[in-house]
Each structure stands twice: as structure tokens, then as C-alpha cells.
Amino acid sequence: MKIFEALRQDHEKQRLLLKILSETSGDTPARREYYQELKEQLESHAVAEERHFYSPLMKQDPAVELSRHGIAEHHEIDELIEKLDETDMSSPAWLHHLKALREKVEHHLADEEQEFFQVAGKLLNEQEKQKLAGDYRNEMKDELHS
């Protein structure tokens, strides 16, 4: 497996969780559970992605700006999660904030998949792509089980 497939698998999980959550209502156990899972996915993914995708690519000029942009978007996602944490789940504002989070995450994933992956594909050799995927996967396992 290459780093792109590993990242894309987690992107799909995030998209699915956001879709499911946007169809929930009220302060229910299901909404709480899906939201907790989404938060863990987004937080673990950001850490692992920054370490095992952005960081190695930042050493190469064509990827510096894209890496910085991706990290900035991770920060914006963190802020939206904070806003959701501070909002009563049963209020209409919670769904409004979730919608903003969904738009930000989906924009971020599209940026990566449509632009950054192409640039990274040219900068990394096959061995690097596979090693980064393994490192990323291991980090995700560690992050999600800590």
C-alpha cells in the first residue's frame, strides 16, 4: 500500500462520519458516539498525516506551500471542533457548526486528493510511498488506541 491509499481510506471514513452526523438530531447517544469517533479520526489523522506525509515533503520546494496550507487547514478544523465541543448538541447551532466543519474537511480532503497527491507522487519514489504508508498506519493505530 502507498501513502495515498492509506490517506484516502481514512478520508473516506471521515466523509462517511460527517454524512452520518449531519443526518442526526438532538443530544442522542448515537450523535455523541459518531461525534466522538469523528473527533478521534480527525485528530489522529492530522497528527499522523503531518508526521508521515507533510513533514517529509516539506524538505522539497514544490511541496512546502502545500504542506503549510494543509497544516493551516488542520488548525482551522481543530478550531471548528472546539466550537462544536462548546455548543449544546441539542441546539440548532450545533448542526450549523457541524455543517461548517463538514465543508472545511471536505474542501481539505479534495485539495489533498486533487492537488497535493499529484505533486507528492512526483516527489516521492515507490519505496518512500510504501514506507510512509506503513509509518502512517502504525501511527494511526497508536493514536486511536492511546
pLDDT value for 29: 96
The amino acid sitting at 111 is D
The residues, any chain, with a CB within 8 Å of residue 43's CB and separated by 6 or more, are 78, 81, 143
Q: Is the full-model pTM beyond 0.75? A: yes
Torsion of CA 7, 12, 16, 17, to 10 degrees: -10
State pLDDT tens for residues 120-142: 999 999 999 999 999 999 999 88
